[in-house]
């Protein structure tokens, strides 16, 4: 029996779960807490822990897994996968490696065990480990933790009695270099975006579908879009979305900053543009993201200048020159839609437009869930309350709120911190909790 892959809800990502609707669970003879191997049509595989699906999935034959598991299984949203019960043993011991620039004094074994408990891991795998602070962890982000070895071998489950050892060698030097996420591909997944489900669906239909199934478009005799224009206020997730799409389809990602190309590369703007397009075509499938398109391509009558005119002409010709099979797609963002040169909004260029608006309460809650996912949040912190009381906040504001909450927690324990040291104390890490007061303070900010 095949199931269809869908994303997890933001709050449930990062825990190695496969949420399968109950009807399908019964048909597959699975129980809550079983482990399963998920395989797509390629040779990728992911092992996950079964969890009853969301009520709305009932009877729809859906398995929800997060971006990391989708990547391991080599599948995308809406792909069919087979699910088989996995034979996994409890881990006696697991050696994990941290990234080089994260140095911890003392034993963080218990903390790692606590966070990864119940997850299935395999040697060589990279699993996200959330830390709400540290040199490389900002809110919502996690530290990539590498599984250096396991005992016994094979896929094992981390339990309360697993002995966690820290590897002497940093994660970067353990096993094959580069690993899952290839160079040039961002690692944002759909679960890192809150409140934009409909918009994501549209973007996926315009970009993911043609890139993954060009034959469908050929068959129908329609051309996939070359350019998609995302418009809306700053900080609402336009860049995030472009990165997530690139990551989900394993596409190479190139960024062009509108203002930068006009100023930093003054005199070489056209050349720069051309190089970026070349780079993308060489690395196709690829997505070129142009941020603040308005600063390059303001309406010509307003921009006036010769330089602007030439740069717009160059961009037009580069887009017209893109081959028509959808292997390179340009996503541009602007918060000044009306200022964009109409020549760019015509057929064959940025002819699809998606509005990315300010999130509503439900959206704000999802965004807060994304950015507190890795935090040791005290139970009393009611995200619903903060979603209600942040009318007008965009994603970037909510991220700051969450980060400020975490910073307040950090300030509380600051007397115990040796800020001179490059290392963080494991004990301090373990005692860290973000409380209701930390959040309240942050909102007053
Ligand atoms: P834009 O490109 O629309 O100006 P970005 O995508 O660069 O905004 O957002 C800036 C940051 O704010 C992101 O890196 C992310 O941390 C946060 N953010 C913005 N929108 C969202 C969202 N919808 N969900 C989760 N985080 C968001």
3-state SS string over 176-232? CCCCCCCCCCCCCCHHHCCCCHHHHHHHHHHHHHHHHCHHHHHHHCCCCCCEEEEEC
* Whole-angstrom distance, CA of residue 196 vs CA of residue 360: 10
Point out the ligand 1 atom lying closest to the alpha carbon of residue 243: 6
**DSSP label at residue 270:** H
Point out the ligand 1 atom lying closest to the alpha carbon of residue 363: 23
- Ligand 1 centre to CA of 236 (Å) is 5
Pairing relation of β-strands 45-52 and 350-355? Answer: unpaired
- Ligand 1 pocket, mutate which of 191, 236, 293, 335 (most atoms under 8 A from CB): 236
| Regions of the chain where pLDDT drops below 70 | 131-142, 175-184, 299-304, 324, 326, 416-422
* Whole-angstrom distance, CA of residue 79 vs CA of residue 60: 14
What pLDDT is attached to residue 135? Answer: 41
227 forms beta bridges with: 330, 350
Does the CA dihedral 374-378-383-388 come out positive or negative?
Answer: negative
Does the CA dihedral 185-186-187-190 come out positive or negative?
Answer: negative
What pLDDT is attached to residue 53? Answer: 92
Q: Which residue has the tokens 């918060």?
A: 335
What pLDDT is attached to residue 177? Answer: 47
What pLDDT is attached to residue 55? Answer: 93
Does the CA dihedral 134-138-142-145 come out positive or negative?
Answer: negative
- Packed helices 269-282 and 306-321: angle between N→C axes, nearest 10 degrees: 20
For the stretch 80-125, pLDDT in tens is 999 999 989 999 999 999 888 777 788 888 888 988 999 999 998 8
What pLDDT is attached to residue 421? Answer: 66
Q: Nearest CA to 166 among 89, 116, 105, 119?
A: 105
- Ligand 1 pocket, mutate which of 67, 237, 368 (most atoms under 8 A from CB): 237
Token pair for 93:
């011991």
Does 152 sit behind a cis peptide bond, omega within 30 degrees of 0 on the bond before it?
Answer: yes
Token pair for 2:
């095949």
Does 140 sit behind a cis peptide bond, omega within 30 degrees of 0 on the bond before it?
Answer: no
- Ligand 1 centre to CA of 402 (Å) is 13
Which positions ≥6 away from 411 have C-beta within 8 Å? none
What pLDDT is attached to residue 376? Answer: 85
Point out the ligand 1 atom lying closest to the alpha carbon of residue 396: 12
- Packed helices 361-372 and 395-412: angle between N→C axes, nearest 10 degrees: 40
What pLDDT is attached to residue 381? Answer: 92
Q: Nearest CA to 162 among 222, 110, 104?
A: 110
CB atoms under 10 Å from CB of 319, counted, come to: 18
Protein residue closest via CA to atom 18 of ligand 1: 395
Q: Nearest CA to 167 among 91, 104, 90?
A: 104
What pLDDT is attached to residue 127? Answer: 87
Ligand 1 lining (C-beta closer than 6 Å): 193-196, 234-240, 333, 367, 370, 395-396, 399
pTM: 0.89
CB atoms under 10 Å from CB of 137, counted, come to: 18
Q: What SS3 class is residue 396? A: helix
- Ligand 1 pocket, mutate which of 240, 363, 393, 398 (most atoms under 8 A from CB): 240
Pairing relation of β-strands 35-39 and 62-64? Answer: unpaired
Q: What SS3 class is residue 5? A: strand
Percent of the chain whose pLDDT exceeds 70? 91
ipTM of model over 0.95:
yes
Q: Which helix (H) or strand (E) holds 253?
A: strand 252-257
């Amino acid at each position: 029996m095949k199931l269809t892959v869908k994303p997890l809800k933001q709050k449930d990502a990062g825990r190695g779960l496969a949420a399968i609707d109950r009807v399908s669970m019964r048909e597959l003879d699975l129980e809550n807490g079983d482990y399963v191997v998920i395989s797509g049509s390629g040779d990728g595989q992911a092992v996950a822990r079964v969890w009853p699906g969301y009520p709305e999935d009932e009877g729809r034959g859906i398995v929800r897994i997060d971006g990391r598991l989708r990547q391991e299984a080599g599948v995308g949203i809406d792909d069919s996968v087979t699910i088989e019960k996995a034979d996994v043993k409890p881990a006696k011991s697991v050696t994990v490696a941290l990234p080089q620039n994260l140095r911890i004094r003392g034993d963080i074994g218990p903390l790692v065990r606590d966070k990864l408990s119940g997850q299935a891991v395999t040697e060589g795998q990279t699993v996200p480990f959330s830390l709400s602070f540290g040199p490389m962890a900002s809110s919502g982000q996690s530290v990539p933790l590498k599984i250096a070895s396991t005992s016994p071998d094979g896929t094992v489950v981390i339990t309360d009695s697993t002995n966690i050892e820290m590897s002497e060698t940093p994660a970067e030097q353990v096993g094959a270099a580069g690993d899952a996420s290839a160079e040039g591909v961002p690692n944002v997944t759909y679960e890192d975006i809150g409140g934009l489900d409909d918009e994501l669906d549209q973007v996926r239909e315009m970009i993911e579908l043609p890139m993954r199934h060009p034959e469908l478009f050929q068959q129908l005799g329609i051309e996939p879009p070359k350019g998609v224009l995302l418009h809306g206020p700053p900080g609402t997730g336009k860049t995030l979305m472009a990165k997530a799409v690139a990551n989900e389809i394993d596409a190479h990602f190139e960024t062009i900053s509108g203002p930068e190309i006009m100023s930093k590369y003054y005199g070489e703007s056209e050349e720069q543009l051309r190089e970026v397009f070349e780079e993308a075509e060489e690395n196709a499938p690829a997505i070129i993201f142009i941020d603040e398109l308005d600063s390059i391509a303001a309406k010509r009558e307003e921009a006036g200048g010769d330089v602007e005119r030439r740069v717009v002409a160059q961009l037009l010709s580069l887009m017209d020159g893109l081959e028509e099979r959808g292997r390179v797609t340009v996503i541009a963002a602007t918060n000044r839609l009306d200022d964009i040169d109409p020549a760019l909004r015509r057929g064959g260029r940025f002819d699809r437009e998606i509005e990315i608006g300010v999130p509503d309460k439900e959206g704000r809650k999802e965004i807060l869930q994304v950015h507190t996912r890795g935090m040791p949040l005290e139970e009393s912190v009611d995200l619903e309350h903060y979603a209600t009381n942040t009318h007008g906040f965009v994603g970037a504001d909510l991220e700051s709120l969450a980060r400020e909450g975490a910073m307040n927690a950090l300030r509380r324990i600051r007397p115990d911190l040796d800020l001179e040291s490059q290392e963080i104390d494991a004990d301090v890490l373990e005692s860290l909790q973000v409380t209701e007061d930390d959040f309240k303070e942050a909102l007053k900010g």
